[in-house]
């Protein structure tokens, strides 16, 4: 559906006396220096076809915007640009990174944003941009900046949440408690891969916006995109660092398992020794040969019991001093 449809002139939103769904009426009021920003959320094919007819959007770009699930990219269709960004948000209870998508059609006098998924609502970005007239005067380029800035800020929040979870994993791996962290490490690495798939392809378009080589994006807006690029680079570096930490934590976890298994084997060996020595004495004593001197000795039975206890105590002392028990 159409969430908003606004006309902007010289950095200010211009009131229009028509419904936001009346795309043609709003665009007809657009002057030479004005532009229109239409926001849609999970539109039907028919809705997007109507928008495409009014703004002369390319068929292939419209098809991508309807289907969603595309990788971040920047493409040119005639005089307009088509930009795809992945939106991310974090569900802490499940250690899961959820994804959405924003598709942007950018022309000389219009910007159309098509949003898919729960995250990435652009209402706040629109309000913040309308309060910054000095940015909004850059026209459609200002909208591209505002949307990219909001998306990358969300990336930073997701990475901060992942950082907390990685810290928890490190504490758990090196704790004295017996923990099974392999499954959580795998989940976190998978979520980091999801973040990387959103971040890495976006760096090239943002760098191009920064240098002002993209026709249709105001070169004077380059410093704003440079700030977005810096944040994006920081997110990328943090993702690589967290992935490396998880790899190290997984190796340490496997090493801890090996050490614990060796400790268990030592304990088992010590317990076998505690049982084996008395069993050996009992087996010999139980042979009951006629010529065994202990059979007719009054203290033979107590001596056998004392010998069993003494051998078990000796094995226990040796095992304790060796750290096996």
pLDDT in tens, 202-228: 999 999 999 888 888 888 888 999 999
Average pLDDT over residues 224-252: 90
> What would the pLDDT profile of 47-82 be if each residue is shown by its tens digit?
888 888 888 899 999 888 888 788 899 999 988 999
Q: How many residues does the chain have?
A: 325
Average confidence score pLDDT of the chain: 83
Model confidence at 236, pLDDT cuts 50, 70, 90, reads very high
pLDDT at residue 302, rounded to an integer: 74
Residue 9: count of CB within 10 angstroms of its CB:
15
How many CA atoms within 13 Å lie on the side-chain side of 268?
A: 6
Domains of the chain: 2-256 (3.30.460.20), 258-321 (1.20.58)
Cβ partners under 8 Å of residue 144, min gap 6 = 83, 104, 106, 111, 209, 217
Packed helices 123-130 and 140-173: angle between N→C axes, nearest 10 degrees: 130
pLDDT at residue 204, rounded to an integer: 92
Question: What spatial distance separates the first Cα and last Cα of the chain, rounded to whole Å?
Answer: 69
Distance, CA of 294 to chain centre: 75
pLDDT at residue 249, rounded to an integer: 85
> What would the pLDDT profile of 99-133 be if each residue is shown by its tens digit?
999 999 999 889 999 999 876 678 888 888 888 88
Global model pTM greater than 0.85: no
pLDDT at residue 202, rounded to an integer: 92
Separation in Å, CA 307 to CA 275, 291, 317: 13, 20, 15
Residue 296: pLDDT over 80: no
Residue 230: pLDDT over 90: yes
Packed helices 45-55 and 59-67: angle between N→C axes, nearest 10 degrees: 150
Residue 260: pLDDT over 80: no
The sheet carrying 12-14 orders its strands as 12-14, 2-9, 35-41, 110-116, 96-106, 80-91, 73-77
* Distance of alpha carbon 229 from alpha carbon 151, whole angstroms: 12
Average pLDDT over residues 224-248: 92
Residue/partner pairs of 217-223 with CB below 8 Å, 24 or more apart? 217/81, 217/106, 217/141, 217/144, 218/138, 218/139, 218/141, 220/138, 221/135, 221/138, 221/141, 221/142, 221/145
Model confidence at 5, pLDDT cuts 50, 70, 90, reads confident
User: Is-contact 72 86, C-beta < 8 A?
Assistant: yes
């Amino acid at each position: 559906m159409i969430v908003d449809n606004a006309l902007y002139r010289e950095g200010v939103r211009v009131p229009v006396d028509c419904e936001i769904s009346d795309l043609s009426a709003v665009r007809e009021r657009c002057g030479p220096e004005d532009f229109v920003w239409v926001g849609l959320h999970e539109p039907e094919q028919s809705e997007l076809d109507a928008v495409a007819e009014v703004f002369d959007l390319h068929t292939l770009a419209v098809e991508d915007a309807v289907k969603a699930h595309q990788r971040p990219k920047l493409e040119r269709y005639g005089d307009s640009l088509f930009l795809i960004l992945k939106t991310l948000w974090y569900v802490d209870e499940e250690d899961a990174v959820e994804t959405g998508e924003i598709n942007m059609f950018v022309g000389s006098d219009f910007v159309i944003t098509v949003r898919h998924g729960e995250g990435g609502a652009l209402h706040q970005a629109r309000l913040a941009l309308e309060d910054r007239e000095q940015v909004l005067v850059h026209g459609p380029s200002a909208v591209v900046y505002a949307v990219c800035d909001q998306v990358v800020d969300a990336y930073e929040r997701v990475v901060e949440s992942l950082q907390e979870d990685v810290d928890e994993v490190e504490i758990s791996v090196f704790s004295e408690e017996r923990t099974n962290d392999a499954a959580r490490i795998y989940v976190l690495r998978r979520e980091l891969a999801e973040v990387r798939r959103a971040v890495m392809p976006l760096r090239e378009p943002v760098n191009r916006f920064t240098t002002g080589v993209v026709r249709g994006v105001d070169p004077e807006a380059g410093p704003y995109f440079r700030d977005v690029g810096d944040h994006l680079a920081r997110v990328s570096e943090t993702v690589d660092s967290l992935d490396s930490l998880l790899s190290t934590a997984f190796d340490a976890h496997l090493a801890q398992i090996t050490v614990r298994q060796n400790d268990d084997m030592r304990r088992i060996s010590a317990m076998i020794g505690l049982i084996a020595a008395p069993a050996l004495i009992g087996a010999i004593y139980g042979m009951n040969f006629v010529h065994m001197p202990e059979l007719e000795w009054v203290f033979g039975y107590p001596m056998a019991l004392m010998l069993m206890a003494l051998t078990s105590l000796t094995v226990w002392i040796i095992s304790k001093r060796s750290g096996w028990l």
